[in-house]
Amino acid sequence: MNVLITGGTGYIGGTVLGKLAEHGHRVRAVVRGEEAAKTVTEAGAEAVVGDVADVPWLTAQLAGVDGAIHLATLEPAGDDAVLSAVLAAFQGTTRPFVYTSGLWVWGDNAGIAEDSPAAPTEISVWRLPRQQRVLESGLRASVIAPAPVYGHGRGLAAWLFNYGPRTDGGALRMVGSGAQHWGSVHVEDLADLYVAALERAPGGELYIGASGVNPTVREMAQAAVGADGSVVPESDDETRARLGAGLADALLLDQQASGSLARTRLGWQPSRPTVLDELAAH
């Protein structure tokens, strides 16, 4: 399959690019400049230099491919442009399209499923109308909502806990009290899910990309510092002052998810080390 992707130089996008190539797909990666073009070319993709906000241009690029995955992190207007181009190019066809949302759109929830009521924080509220536009498009279009992504020493958990700030006494600062749970997914497992959705999803469905491992922030922080290390909580307001209100409110959510629909519908089987194992190893 000839597949166009956005975000191919990113953490998730670069992993998906590699996984598509492993599955025998030809990848065309939309990039903004020559440096990014070099990155995706070295990863085995064909670079397409242009502006995804240019709807006629992107529509023309999409006309020549068999499927597309949108992974770029854009402002809402940029997402709208990508969706308009996909709708124009893929309407009346069975070519697959995979769009990216996120777990934070469900807010506090100890058992998140795809049909759980939405309760987005400020940082993710813009995603809802766009994912609905995809699901109601009539295309063979799917939405993947990843849990916080980790793996290879990168991702939110590594940034906050392996490399996070310490007190004067050397204790690692947690995010809030540390009692809240996070969903989690290894970047390699998530890339497998994108490929599975592209190849096998019927369209019109949303899949939560979550491993089913939902540790607390305290458990993750303790894994990062080891049995002999110490961790300390901070107030919600201290977390907001440190990280900004938008990100902090998302990280203070108490969320648990299993990602079971992707398993039953697409045969997805996450198998990489857990986030606790990754944090302990780095």
Query: Residue type for 104, please?
Result: W
One domain for residues 142 and 242: no
One domain for residues 91 and 228: no
One domain for residues 27 and 59: yes
One domain for residues 145 and 158: no
One domain for residues 199 and 243: no
One domain for residues 130 and 70: yes
Percent of the chain with pLDDT over 70: 100
Averaged over 249-267, what is the pLDDT? 97
What is the rounded CA–CA span in Å between residue 232 and residue 251?
16
Summarised one tens digit per residue, pLDDT across range 142-185 is 999 999 999 999 999 999 999 999 999 999 999 999 999 999 99
One domain for residues 49 and 155: no
Q: What was the pLDDT predicted at 73?
A: 87
Residue at 165 is within a domain: yes
Percent of the chain with pLDDT over 90: 98
Q: What was the pLDDT predicted at 195?
A: 98
Average pLDDT, whole number, for the chain? 96
Summarised one tens digit per residue, pLDDT across range 201-257 is 999 999 999 999 999 999 999 999 999 999 999 999 999 999 999 999 999 999 999
Residue 43, judged by CB atoms within 10 A of its CB (0-12, 13-18, 19+), counts as middle
In total, how many domains does the chain have? Answer: 2
One domain for residues 38 and 71: yes
Instruction: Write phi, then psi, for 231 (nearest 5 degrees).
Output: -130, 150
One domain for residues 157 and 43: no
Residue at 235 is within a domain: yes
Residue at 172 is within a domain: yes
Residue at 276 is within a domain: no
What is the rounded CA–CA span in Å between residue 245 and residue 247?
6
Domain with 240 in it: 151-180+215-251
Q: Are strands 2-6 and 26-31 parallel, antiparallel or unpaired?
A: parallel
Residue at 277 is within a domain: no
One domain for residues 76 and 160: no
Q: What was the pLDDT predicted at 41?
A: 94
What is the rounded CA–CA span in Å between residue 280 and residue 220?
9
Summarised one tens digit per residue, pLDDT across range 47-77 is 999 999 999 999 999 999 999 999 998 889 9
Question: Residue 21: is its pLDDT beyond 90?
Answer: yes
Which CATH number do you get for residue 264?
3.40.50.720
CA geometry: angle at 20 spanning 150 and 37, to 5°? 85
One domain for residues 124 and 247: no
Residue with tokens 């190019």: 89
Residue at 282 is within a domain: no
Residue at 281 is within a domain: no
- Work out the end-to-end distance of the chain between its first and last CA atoms, rounded to an integer number of angstroms: 37
The 10 Å CB-count burial string (b at 16+, else e) for 70-83 is: bbbeeeeeebbbbb
Q: What was the pLDDT predicted at 75?
A: 86
One domain for residues 87 and 163: no
Sign of the torsion formed by the C-alpha atoms of 106, 100, 43 and 270: positive
Residue at 129 is within a domain: yes
Q: What was the pLDDT predicted at 11?
A: 96
